[in-house]
Chains A and B, each alone.
Chain A
Amino acid sequence: MTILEPSTNEPPPASAVRGARLGVTPDQRRILYAIVAAILLFFIGGLIRPGFSSPSGIAAVLTVACFVGLVAAGQTFVILIGGIDLSVPWTLNAGAILMMSTAANSDARMPFALLVTLGMGALVGLCNGVGIAVFGVPAVVMTLAMNGVLEGLTLGLSGGLTCSSCAAYAPPLLQAAAHGTILGIPAILYLWLGVILLASFILSFTTFGRGTYAIGNGARASYLAGVNVTRTTIILYVISGAFSALAGIMILGFGGQAALGLGDPYLFQSIAAAVIGGVYILGGRGHYVGTVAGSISLVALVSVLMAMNMPEYGRSITYGVIILVLLLAYGRETAER
């Protein structure tokens, strides 16, 4: 349903004017909130369980946050154009299984397996992107259908993980990379840092990033301004698919073996991380830096709740409520402008 917007002509956006005066835009303020929340959670965790906020405790939280953050990188890109990627769970899961069965315990086959797996993720994204941008299928429908297709393919081809190569483990090199440390810091976090730098660079410093924000703020206006909406949309979904597959690979390396249903938690968490980090769910505003802070706070929150011995269902309810509250709060702020 389209409701023609009532006048936004005369009242200038008070929040923007106020924010500019302080040198912080509302978007930047939300990112700050997420960072402050993460720090606070580490502090609280430390009070509840000594060692929670020790270097190794923090490293543990960051490692888990890294998986969420990788998936959420792709999710952030597509949410920024007002889209969403619901095919994350099974793209990730298929990625993990494909990596495992293609590499088949062998380090020598790893480069080939990496290529195949990331290619599979990109291909899924390509299908999503073409369906959405070229054939005009709504993103929710397209990516949800894709998720279903992938689930079926994965279950069918792996025979419920009973295929001959499915008993394999992640190649030792991948496991070593996922568990290893460099200068005392988990190696996997360097990968994440690279992704953060790259994603931020794309969003803030490139014409592609500018086009992405423009589409999120108005697809029709972007098209009429000469932005290549179709191409940008497809590329963003390709990126999202590849990130899901990459996360699948890293999770496989971390866990050693793949399981069915491995990707299920990551759909909600990737969207939640973006929202907590101030990415506007309808597109056009936000930044991956916020999503990173959102991933860390989300995982830190879950860890704190676990440290408090809260059962699984309680944790689910808690972060469901937090997402709703944030959406309400941020939604209000946007209505103001």
Chain B
Amino acid sequence: MDSPSALDPPAEAAGPSAPLLVECVGLRKTFGGVVALNDADFNAIAGEVHALVGENGAGKSTLIKAIGGRIRPDAGTIRIKGQAQALGAPEDGHALGIRTVFQELTLLGGMTVAENLLIGREPRGRLGFIHRRRMGEEAEALLARMGIEHIDPLALVEETSLAERQIVEIVRAINNRPDILLLDEPTSSLVEREVNWLYGQIEELRKRDTCIIFTSHRWHEIRNVADRITVFRAGRHVGTFEDIDESEAITLMTGKRVSTLYPAVPPLPARDAALEAKGLRGGRLNGVDLTLHKGEILGVGGLAGHGHRELFFSLFGAERTSGGEILVGGKPVRLASPRQATRRGIDIALVPEDRKTEGLFLGMSIRNNMTLSVLGRISSAGVLNFGAERRVAEEMARRLGVRMQGLRHPVGSLSGGNQQKVLIGRWLLMEPRILLLYDITRGVDVATKHELYELVSRLAGQGHSILLYSSDAEELAHLPHRVLVMREGRIARELAGPDMTAESIVSAAVRDTAQS
């Protein structure tokens, strides 16, 4: 691949022809001592889809929040529709026709989908009370109009999946007919089909002359929908382009050259089964059979809600099964809790989907987060050996290249990718034989993704067995040895070798669902 060097960026796009809808000049924002935006400029016009790309911590989310009125910049000017604005609250943005879909969702978990969708504009009955039945109907009509059938408007938000919440959030924002729609990683929890739905919505909005600004870490998405691409690095605007390829963009984002995103798949040793599931049932699982071999990276794909989450949690003892068996190293085991799964001799570790509520303790130190899995090893008779603890944590942080100020700092102060490394580090300390990795690159920047891929590949090469779920079909097509596609709680298809492409994974996931 002959990409230009870091100092030789591709030609920047010419200045926009239409009048500017959003214009940011010299924005600056610091949090504590950390500079999130550093003299950042940005502009966007009506009827364009504008992608913001950059590493985690490059300032994309902060810029989105500043335009949406969620935070107030320390310095600089934001002009909306030609007028300088002091946006201090999301309501200010709403008044100007700006709507934002945040990366961390803002729905109220204890309320229904309908209540969330129509919040602030609920249909009223004769006495001014909320008309419950009509609300359900209106919400259903709204979802149907947008082509969403699988979400029950009367379901509680906390009972819906991450992807469903994301969709509700997007529907709510679009329903307000914004002139400017800000989407902060809208696709991070969506699978292919839902992503296509979103593209459709974006296309509609573009026709209505809406300005759409979005961030994403998935390059093929950016290329598919964006009219212009703006690259941010370290809080600064690096350039805006109409056409730029991935390696050029990565070079601009990181200031380094990355040759290929995916490492070579390590060779597979003798086919010894490390982990087997036979006819696993319970919850959404409807008889799952699989065999994970020693040193193998086994991919799991499929649409959201088809049982991968339950599969991973069942294999980790965190979800009850109603039938079938799990074998570790050929021997049947009963896993009633994660504690049993992590026990010596079984050695299964799970890196869960939602690292903020299921994985890490954001307020606790990096060290304490990491060593939680090996407290037994760094203590005697229940008393901690701080020296040993510091040593193992330091060594793991170095091995994984965690970028931090110190082990005593809270994990919450790290960027998303580095948080993920801490979580993976916790489990590597345990020296697991079997690693269950659930969408570990979701919301992680390209450079860190690259590091994580190398890590996964290296771990497999060292003999760890890895079961890997990903919502990114590209990732599944490149990283694992084989891919299992799940549908309706069972393994519908196994793909390997030349058949293992993103397209075949997606079509295997969708095909029969469409027929039924």
Contacts and interface: CB of A to CB of B under 8 A. Distances in A.
A207 interface: yes
Interface stretch (B18-26, B106-114, B244-252, B276-284): B106-114
A4 B109 contact: yes
Interface stretch (B220-228, B300-308, B367-375): B367-375
A285 interface: yes
B423 to A, nearest CB: 9
Nearest to B381: A206
A109 to B, nearest CB: 35
A3 B102 CA distance: 14
Assign chain B's interface to a size class: 35 or more
B32 A12 contact: yes
B412 A13 contact: yes
A225 B426 contact: yes
A255 interface: no
Contacts, number: 154
A194 interface: no
A223 to B, nearest CB: 6
Interface in A13-63: 13-18, 20
A214 B364 contact: yes
B33 interface: yes
A254 to B, nearest CB: 34
A226 B109 contact: no
Given A210-B368, A223-B337, A11 B426 contact: no
A6 B31 CA distance: 16
Interface in A213-233: 213-214, 217-218, 220-228
Given A207-B376, A228-B339, A213 B368 contact: yes
Contacts of B318: 223-224
Contacts of A206: 379, 382-384
B95 to A, nearest CB: 20
B363 interface: yes
Contact of A8 (B65, B104, B106): B104
Contacts of A284: 361, 363-364
Contacts of A18: 32-33
B74 interface: no
Nearest to A215: B361
A205 B364 CA distance: 16
Contacts of A20: 405-406, 408-409
Nearest to A5: B104
B84 interface: no
Contact of A10 (B61, B157, B361): B61
Interface string B8-43: 000000000000000000000001111010000000
Interface stretch (B45-53, B120-128, B351-359, B454-462): B351-359
B358 A221 contact: yes
B410 interface: yes
Contact of A2 (B33, B103, B110, B361): B110
A183 interface: no
Interface in B90-120: 102-111
Nearest to B37: A10
A329 interface: no
Contact of B357 (A6, A17, A218): A218
Contact of A217 (B364, B375, B383, B384): B364
Contact of B31 (A1, A14, A205, A211): A14
A224 B384 contact: no
Contact of B352 (A13, A17, A224): A224
Of the candidates B62, B360, B413, the one having the most CB atoms from chain A within 10 angstroms of its own CB is: B413
Given A10-B57, A217-B361, 20 more contacts: A4-B108, A9-B104, A9-B415, A10-B31, A10-B61, A11-B36, A12-B413, A12-B414, A15-B32, A16-B412, A18-B33, A20-B408, A210-B375, A213-B368, A217-B363, A222-B372, A224-B318, A228-B339, A337-B363, A337-B410
Interface of A: 1-18, 20, 205-208, 210-211, 213-214, 217-218, 220-228, 284-285, 337
